[in-house]
Structure 1
Amino acid sequence: MDFKNQINFLQELQKNNNKEWMDTNRKWYKEVRDDYIAWLNDINSKLSVIDDAYYDTPGKKGINRINNNLMFHPNKPIYKDHFGAGFDKRPNTGDFYVEIGIERSMFAGGLWRPDPKRLRSIRDAIDYDGEELLQILNKKSFKNLIGGLYEDVKLTNAPKGFSNKHRHIDLLRNKTFAVAMEFSSDLVLKDDFEDYLINAYNIMLPFRRYLNKAITV
């Protein structure tokens, strides 16, 4: 994968974030996108070997659109400043997300502000065995690489059906159950980037499995 070419494309796109420029440089975009999809396919194959429960996600199914959704975010530019894709993308569950951007890139996993039904299922799981989730979050390798849960809005009080004195009230008040680790895009140019990605996948996997079990069982 020629990540340098990909980043150069994104840099030029952000300088000329309009349809006219994109139309003129459509061949370049297709070259970068096809290269990225081929790389996604390769990573998809490698992850399927290390994770027995992995959900096959070829590059064309995992890749996100480069266009921003202007219907819901009319103030955003037409095109994103990154290429994003999901792995292990089983329907209606939390996937492993990879984002390659101009200066900032990211690995992430879990569920961003899930709908009320799935959010309730996660909270019920925490009520039942929140200790397991805490063990995952407090594991040394997890804390060293990721830190903790993604900081998002929280309820000020206990969610309906739970007490403010609940032993896991800090977890229950979350509306988002996701983790994210940002890193400099210089890292994607290094020879060991794929090893870094696979290590991040493995460290996030117990967290994602906990959530996905909660919302599917």
Structure 2
Amino acid sequence: MNFNDLFHFLEELQQNNNKEWMDANRKWYKSLRNDLIAWLDDLDMTMAQLHDDYYPTPGKKGINRINNNLMFHPNKPIYKDHFGAGLDKAPNSADFYIEIGLKHCLLAGGRWRPDSKTLRSIRDAIDYNGEELQKILDKPSFKKMFGGLYEDEKLVKAPKGFSNNHPYIEFLRNKTFAVELELSKEEVLHDDFKEKIVEVYKEMLPFRQYLNQAVTV
């Protein structure tokens, strides 16, 4: 995968963010997209060897559309400034997300503002065994890689059914349960980028498994 070419394409696209330019350069876009899908296929096969519950996700299924959803975000540009993809995408499971873009290159995973039923299940799991989540987040290598949970909107007080004095009240007030690692462009272009993704995936796995168990138990 030629990530230099991918960055070049995104730079040109953001300077010409319109359908006319995309139509004129669609062959370039399709070639890049096909290369990225093949690269994701290879990464998917590598990661499928990491644990028995890995959910195979071909690149064509994992890759996101480059078009913004203008129905819900009419003020956004027509096209995104990045390519994004998800792997290990079992139904109703915590995400593992790869983004390669001009403003952000990152690896992330978890649950981004889940629906009320899923959120309640996660909170119930924390109420029952918040110690396990705390242990995962406190692991030195995890803290070094991710810092902590992604900072997003929180409730001011305890959610309904929980006490403000709950020992894990700071977790319970969250609306998002996710972590992320920002990468530099240089890291994406480095020869060991694939190995870096595998390293991050393995470090994140217990956190994602905790969230997955919360919604299946």
Q: Which TM-score band applies after superposition, normalised by the shorter structure?
A: over 0.9
Q: Give the Å deviation of 1:3.
A: 0.6
TM-score, normalising length from structure 2?
A: 0.99
Aligned partners of 2:201, 2:208: CA distance in 1, in Å? 10
Tell me whether 138-147 or 96-105 shows the greater mean CA deviation. Answer: 96-105
Aligned partners of 1:95, 1:130: CA distance in 2, in Å? 20
- 2:49 is paired with a residue of what secondary structure? helix
- 1:85 is paired with a residue of what secondary structure? strand
User: Which residue pairs with 2:161 in the alignment?
Assistant: 161
Residue 80 of structure 2 aligns to which amino acid in structure 1? K
Aligned partners of 1:190, 1:113: CA distance in 2, in Å? 33
- 2:198 pairs with 1:198: yes
- 2:106 pairs with 1:106: yes
The superposition leaves residues 34-70 of structure 1 with CA deviations (integer Å, 9 ceiling, x where unpaired) of 0000000000000000121100100011000000001
- 2:89 pairs with 1:89: yes
User: Which residue pairs with 2:39 in the alignment?
Assistant: 39
User: Which residue pairs with 1:121 in the alignment?
Assistant: 121
Residue 85 of structure 2 aligns to which amino acid in structure 1? A
Residue 209 of structure 2 aligns to which amino acid in structure 1? R
- 1:80 is paired with a residue of what secondary structure? coil
Aligned partners of 2:98, 2:107: CA distance in 1, in Å? 5
Aligned partners of 1:103, 1:185: CA distance in 2, in Å? 10
After TM superposition, the runs of 4+ consecutive aligned structure 1 residues lying more than 4 A away are: none
Q: Give the Å deviation of 1:186.
A: 1.8
TM-score, normalising length from structure 1?
A: 0.99
Residue 134 of structure 2 aligns to which amino acid in structure 1? L
RMSD: 0.7
- 1:179 is paired with a residue of what secondary structure? strand
Aligned partners of 1:185, 1:71: CA distance in 2, in Å? 31
- 2:163 is paired with a residue of what secondary structure? coil
Does the 8 Å CA contact 2:81/2:103 hold for their aligned counterparts?
Answer: no
How many correspondences in the alignment?
A: 217
